[in-house]
């Protein structure tokens, strides 16, 4: 290298940062002991700022554009250097470029469940996660508080701190909002605004601006969600008594269709069983309703007496008294019909059972 080239290389004529990354917040121009020439070209692109430092002290900031470095557009450097009367010699300074664009899709989330007190469920644990966006607000403050002696600073180096702020302050904001846990999903926008207002000042303290804070999900522990699913299912059923009466009627009809009695007798059994079970279920749920006068539960009904009936050598039932009465009227149950109930040693004629004897009092005798 000739003497002229060596002398030429000692001075910097063009200062710029061509950023090919997506996560760099600050980058130091590599000076390598070279001096900056007065009237050198400084190129600051859109979404960039350039900060000059004199011996570690923040000096002039340059906005986007092409700048010729002179004492006129470097008033702070001129004061720090003591330049007077159009000083025109090369000088040494550290030049830092800052990215002012938004850094989007930064993730946050709770590492462990957070304990909250809910008005409906009491103490409860929740998890939450989402994303946020931020940008540089004050380059000098960010350099002093965060970047300091680093020659390059990326979002990865500060994301952990920002996530911790988002989680700790964000969960405090959720608790202070007093919004019930079950209503959080329908109020994500409102909760996000509350959290943004809560943590924005702490971003400002380090020279950053929180531009967006989004909640993607707030969830309960799996066992609590399972119980809520059961609770929702009960709510969908509505009137449980009416639903069970309907289900019982359908089940009894299908059972009667599968009986081997066949023909008219099977149809009669199905009708008797369906109506009897529906009445039974209706009475059971009606008797267990809350008394509106004293808000107390009525005494449960006595045990229901049920008998099995032998029809064409096949066991059918069990049937309650209402069903058996219908069967006696229809001629499907006679005094000679074999019956059995829990506690009996074997099958006996219906007329031998005191509970069934009264069923035949109003049955007309055979014709002929």
- Judged by average pLDDT, the poorest of 22-26, 35-39, 61-65, 150-154 is 35-39
* pTM score, whole prediction: 0.58
Chain-centre distance for alpha carbon 277: 43
The answer, yes or no, to whether residue 63 has pLDDT greater than 70, is: yes
Averaged pLDDT, 155-168: 90
Q: Which of 105, 86, 236, 112 is nearest to 164 (CA)?
A: 112
| pLDDT band at residue 254 using 50, 70 and 90 as cut-offs | low
The answer, yes or no, to whether residue 297 has pLDDT greater than 60, is: no
| pLDDT band at residue 268 using 50, 70 and 90 as cut-offs | very low
**What confidence score (pLDDT) does residue 32 get?**
65
**What confidence score (pLDDT) does residue 31 get?**
72
Percent of the chain predicted with pLDDT > 90: 25
Where do the structural domains in the chain lie, given as residue ranges?
A: 3-99, 103-225, 238-289+304-360
Q: What is the mean pLDDT of the chain?
A: 79
Alpha-carbon span 11 to 37, nearest angstrom: 6
pLDDT one-digit tens code per residue, 331-353 = 888 888 888 888 788 888 888 88
Alpha-carbon span 349 to 368, nearest angstrom: 24
Averaged pLDDT, 54-70: 91
The domain covering 103-225 belongs, at the CATH homologous superfamily level, to: Band 7 domain (3.30.479.30)
DSSP per position, 85-139: SS--S-B--EEEEEE-S-EEEEEEE-SSPEEEEETTTEEEEEEEEEEEEEEES-H
Check: CB of residue 166 under 8 Å from CB of residue 114.
no
**What confidence score (pLDDT) does residue 266 get?**
47
Residues 6+ apart with CB under 8 A from 23: 103, 154, 155, 156
Q: Strands 11-16 and 35-44: what pairing?
A: parallel
Give the CA-trace dihedral at 163, 164, 167, 172, to 10 degrees.
-140
Residues 6+ apart with CB under 8 A from 227: none
**What confidence score (pLDDT) does residue 290 get?**
47
Residue 102, both tokens: 């938004």
Whole-Å CA distances, 260 to 254, 257, 296, 325:
12, 8, 46, 21
**What confidence score (pLDDT) does residue 111 get?**
85
| pLDDT band at residue 6 using 50, 70 and 90 as cut-offs | very low
**What confidence score (pLDDT) does residue 99 get?**
96
Check: CB of residue 196 under 8 Å from CB of residue 132.
no
- Judged by average pLDDT, the poorest of 45-49, 239-243, 269-273, 339-343 is 269-273
Residues 6+ apart with CB under 8 A from 323: 272, 273, 275, 276, 277
DSSP per position, 139-153: HHHHIIIIITT-SEE
Whole-Å CA distances, 120 to 130, 217, 235, 256, 345:
25, 20, 17, 46, 54
pLDDT one-digit tens code per residue, 77-124 = 888 888 776 677 788 888 999 999 999 999 998 888 888 888 777 888
Alpha-carbon span 152 to 243, nearest angstrom: 69
How many CB atoms are closer than 10 A to CB 43?
16
Averaged pLDDT, 182-210: 89
| pLDDT band at residue 208 using 50, 70 and 90 as cut-offs | very high
91-109 in b/e form (b: 16+ CB < 10 A) is bebbbbbbbbeebeebebe
| pLDDT band at residue 238 using 50, 70 and 90 as cut-offs | low
The answer, yes or no, to whether residue 68 has pLDDT greater than 80, is: yes
The answer, yes or no, to whether residue 8 has pLDDT greater than 60, is: no
| pLDDT band at residue 354 using 50, 70 and 90 as cut-offs | confident
**What confidence score (pLDDT) does residue 345 get?**
81
The answer, yes or no, to whether residue 257 has pLDDT greater than 80, is: no
């Amino acid at each position: 290298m000739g003497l002229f080239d060596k002398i030429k290389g000692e001075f910097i004529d063009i200062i710029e940062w061509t950023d090919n990354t997506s996560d760099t917040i600050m980058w130091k121009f590599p000076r390598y002991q070279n001096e900056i020439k007065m009237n050198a070209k400084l190129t600051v692109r859109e979404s960039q700022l350039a900060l000059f430092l004199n011996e570690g002290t923040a000096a002039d900031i340059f906005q986007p554009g092409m700048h010729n470095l002179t004492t006129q557009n470097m008033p702070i450097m001129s004061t720090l250097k003591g330049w007077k009367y159009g000083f025109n010699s090369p000088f040494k300074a550290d030049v830092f470029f800052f990215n002012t664009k938004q850094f989007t899709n930064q993730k946050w989330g709770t590492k462990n469940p957070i304990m909250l007190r809910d008005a409906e469920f009491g103490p409860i644990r929740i998890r939450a996660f989402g994303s946020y966006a931020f940008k540089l607000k004050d380059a000098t403050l960010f350099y002093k508080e965060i970047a300091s002696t680093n020659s390059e600073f990326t979002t990865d180096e500060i994301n952990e701190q920002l996530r911790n702020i988002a989680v700790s302050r964000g969960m405090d904001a959720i608790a202070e909002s007093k919004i019930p846990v079950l209503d959080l999903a329908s109020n994500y926008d409102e909760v996000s605004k509350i959290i943004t207002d809560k943590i924005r000042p702490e971003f400002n303290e380090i020279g950053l601006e929180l531009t967006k804070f989004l909640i993607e999900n707030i969830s309960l522990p799996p066992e609590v969600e399972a119980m809520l699913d059961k609770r929702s299912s009960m709510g969908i059923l509505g009137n449980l008594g009416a639903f069970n009466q309907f289900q019982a009627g359908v089940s009894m009809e299908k059972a009667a269709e599968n009986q081997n009695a066949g023909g008219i007798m099977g149809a009669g059994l199905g009708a008797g069983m369906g109506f009897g079970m529906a009445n039974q279920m209706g009475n059971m749920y009606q008797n267990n309703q809350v008394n509106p006068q004293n808000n107390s539960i009525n005494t449960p009904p006595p045990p229901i007496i049920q008998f099995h009936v032998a029809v064409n050598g096949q066991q059918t039932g069990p049937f309650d008294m209402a069903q058996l009465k219908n069967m006696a009227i229809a001629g499907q149950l006679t005094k000679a019909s074999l019956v059995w109930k829990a506690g009996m040693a074997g099958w006996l004629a219906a007329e031998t059972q005191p509970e069934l004897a009264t069923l035949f009092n109003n049955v007309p005798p055979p014709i002929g």
